[in-house]
Structure 1
Amino acid sequence: MLAKGQTVIQYMEQLAPKHVAEPDDRIGLQLGTLQKDIRTVLVALDVNDEVVDEAIELGADLIIAHHAIIYRPLKQLQTDTPMGKVYEKLIKHDIAVYVSHTNLDVTEGGMNDWMAEALGIENTSPIHDMHNEQLSKLVVFVPKSHHQEVLDAVLGAGAGSIGNYSHCSFNIEGFGTYVPREGSSPFQGKEGQMERANEVRIETIVPHTIRNKVVAAMLKAHPYEEVAYDLYSMDLKGRSLGLGRVGKLKEPQTLAELVEVVKEKLDVPHVRVVGELDRTIRKAAVIGGSGGRYMMKALFRGADVLVTGDVDYHTAQDALAAGLTIIDPGHNAEKIMKVKVAEWMEQKLQEHKYDTRVVASRINTEPFRFM
């Protein structure tokens, strides 16, 4: 069975929710339709003529890309321009293009976490905070006989995470009362008679983004015909989501040693470096793409080095004066997302028994050549 386009994107937005993207970022479906079966998904960093040819050769119906193919509003669509030819080829071969950009950067388990993990940066936090997760308190009353089943369902759906702790809940026994009315089908008790039931009150924390999922899991596991539960909004904030990651290296390294790690792990032949190569690096920051404007924030968070692309001359001068080293592997280092997204999506589709295949693009879209 093939997955529909909407289904594939539903999974993609579980990985990279649209609401965490920067305002006005060009994300989402940019070309084509999702109202079709998807035989093959191609995951690419950029969409250019070579990538479209690759998609055609693979029989791909959908391209999931990191960089937008339509960034500025189009005043006209001419098919005799370089990008116009790309749009025309995509339309003629019925290939949809979906873009996941800063939402993939920001999300936990996304671009910046992949880059930090590759470079051996641990115990990370965002360099630039963008979102504080909204939390709710879920309270549900369940018969003692089904307490563990409902608790497992709620926590298994993602509730109960507080900081570095998961499966957090509070449980207290008591009794509930109710009178089954005419036409009801009570789990226990008789119609028209007051019932006194041994119950457990379960309390736990639920991130706003998964409230519906947690409530659905709870209702499915609960034996009552009418479930008594409450959801309270909380002033307490959850995880902080943002751009970049900063944390300690597994082992201190010199800047020269870290340069070799960056070249190997991010698969880049050359980097630009700011700072003394024998400088000891203990705390490192990384931002996929062009992150030079967050140089001072990385420094404020205690980073010895910032790994990011497209650093301009004056930013490099400012970093040098401030005592922050920089490794610039170029914007194309974000290509780490191709394999990571493809692996994640393929696993998700297989879990749901879909035959849709997912392929990471082999096209090198790096525009620069190093002489």
Structure 2
Amino acid sequence: MASQVPYSSPFTQAVVSSVRKLYPEALADKSFDNTGLLLEAPFDPARRQKNSVLLAIDLTNAVAEEAIQRRDSAIVAYHPIIFRGLKAITLNDTQQRSLLRLAQHGISVYSPHTAVDTVPGGMADWLCDVVTGTFQPITAQHHSASQGCNSTLYSVPTYPQAEAVPTAASADKTQQIPHTRSTIHPSPAASIPEGFESAGAGRLVTFNESQPLTALIDHIGRGVGLPGGIPIALPQSQSIGHIRIRTVGMCPGSGSGVLMRGTDLPDLLFTGEMSHHETLAATERGSVVISLAHSNSERGYLRAVMQSQLMQELSQRWQSDRQAALQAISDSAKQGGAAPSSCDEVYQDGAVEVSVSEADRDPYGIMVWRG
């Protein structure tokens, strides 16, 4: 007699389908990236997790513990915790230990990474919304993870909330600076699904009229929520109060490979991370560089856009999946089929929750020295 093939929970399957619809894997840069379902935890009906998802940028031990305590069904971690092939999975490696513990507790892990960067309305477009003033946060929630430092001298990030998902189509045009935006490096046509035609790496904003750099810095500070300070590199002999910006190139994360390929650089390079020598090269060519620390250019997107997008898509999908499954169970019962199993009970639960991790944080903060 053949053994039954294990499978992940029906709710987790709905999560994976929803994320793939919002951020198609075909749009990820497979030359280096490792996107998709990285950990598929077997479903145990006797110890069912909640119908909840935890969003994070980095899957650290703290985030894994948070998901375990919350009893989430899945973690959507933007950065892949597995980038290269593994020859062993042991408890000696801290990342592998997290994966083993999550599997033990029935929690799966999906990583969309560069698919989020390239998709229209994704992370790169959100940075455009931030710099142009399109994204208007209504509240700023303090992030609790850094408060264990017990010091007012160490920066505690805030992550602004919006009333609704800001998009180029729905944004209040009276709030934004008039501009055009384009994709810097379009995705290969063969990899673009229908409806995602403007996908690609990086975005270029061109303002109708040049803007004071200080005004754009105000937008960035409010939009990404970094009260401690904004790292900025200026060309020699230029004053921050006198610089005006006409073009801005944006790329979340480590953006130099996207923003510095061409011969003509934007007036402002806005990204998460650039090396010392790349930054020198950019400023020597007359450009300003703002690099926020890698994941600080990414994390705000989870609350500003991804949380509500995924909640909407997942709620619709789970409702559809439930109705189909419950109908099949009912039809089977009418025809004298097998009695309902404990597995069928999962479809009785219509709840859906999408939350953003409170433990997730960039490794770097800003220490204010008052010597």
**Same fold judged by TM-score > 0.5?**
yes
Report the Cα distance in structure 1 between the residues aligned to 2:106 and 2:356, rounded to whole angstroms.
19
Report the Cα distance in structure 2 between the residues aligned to 1:298 and 1:356, rounded to whole angstroms.
45
Q: Once the 2 structures are TM-superposed, how far is the Cα of residue 315 of structure 1 from its aligned partner?
A: 0.8
Report the Cα distance in structure 1 between the residues aligned to 2:359 and 2:313, rounded to whole angstroms.
24
Q: What residue number does 1:130 align with?
A: 187
Equivalent runs, 1:212-231 vs 2, <5 Å = none
Q: What residue number does 1:274 align with?
A: 233
Does the 8 A contact of 1:41 with 1:63 survive in 2? Answer: yes
Q: What residue number does 1:198 align with?
A: none
**CA 1:355–1:249: 2 relative to 1, 3 Å:** farther
Does the 8 A contact of 2:41 with 2:103 survive in 1? Answer: no
Unmatched segments (≥5 aa) in structure 1: 135-206, 211-237
Report the Cα distance in structure 1 between the residues aligned to 2:208 and 2:358, rounded to whole angstroms.
31
Does the 8 A contact of 2:233 with 2:290 survive in 1? Answer: yes
Residue 360 of structure 1: which of 337, 356, 363 is its match?
Answer: 356
Residue 328 of structure 1: which of 291, 309, 312 is its match?
Answer: 291
**CA 1:95–1:105: 2 relative to 1, 3 Å:** same
TM-score (structure 2 length as normaliser)? 0.67
Residue 316 of structure 1: which of 265, 279, 292 is its match?
Answer: 279
Root mean square deviation of aligned Cα: 2.5
**Which amino acid is the alignment partner of residue 194 of structure 2?**
T
Residue 346 of structure 1: which of 304, 307, 311 is its match?
Answer: 311
Taking only the aligned residue pairs, the percentage that are identical comes to 26
Equivalent runs, 1:15-94 vs 2, <5 Å = 15-24=22-31, 25-33=33-41, 39-94=51-106
Q: What residue number does 2:269 align with?
A: 306
Q: Once the 2 structures are TM-superposed, how far is the Cα of residue 73 of structure 1 from its aligned partner?
A: 1.4
Cα displacement string for residues 221-274 of structure 1 (whole angstroms, at most 9, x for unaligned residues): xxxxxxxxxxxxxxxxx9342111111347643223322322221122322212
The question of 1:295 aligning with 2:263 is answered no
**CA 1:256–1:130: 2 relative to 1, 3 Å:** same
**Which amino acid is the alignment partner of residue 40 of structure 1?**
S
Does the 8 A contact of 2:78 with 2:111 survive in 1? Answer: yes
Report the Cα distance in structure 1 between the residues aligned to 2:219 and 2:354, rounded to whole angstroms.
28
Report the Cα distance in structure 1 between the residues aligned to 2:307 and 2:262, rounded to whole angstroms.
30
Q: What residue number does 1:102 align with?
A: 114
Q: What residue number does 2:12 align with?
A: 5
Report the Cα distance in structure 2 between the residues aligned to 1:83 and 1:65, rounded to whole angstroms.
13
Q: Higher strand share goes to which structure?
A: 1
Q: Once the 2 structures are TM-superposed, how far is the Cα of residue 307 of structure 1 from its aligned partner?
A: 0.2
- Structure 1 or 2, whichever has the larger Rg, is 1
Secondary structure at the aligned position of 1:209 is classed as coil
Q: What residue number does 2:168 align with?
A: none
Cα displacement string for residues 255-296 of structure 1 (whole angstroms, at most 9, x for unaligned residues): 233223222211223222122312101221110000012333
**Which amino acid is the alignment partner of residue 181 of structure 2?**
T
Secondary structure at the aligned position of 1:67 is classed as coil
Report the Cα distance in structure 2 between the residues aligned to 1:3 and 1:109, rounded to whole angstroms.
28
Residue 257 of structure 1: which of 212, 215, 222 is its match?
Answer: 215
**Which amino acid is the alignment partner of residue 293 of structure 1?**
G
**Which amino acid is the alignment partner of residue 271 of structure 1?**
I
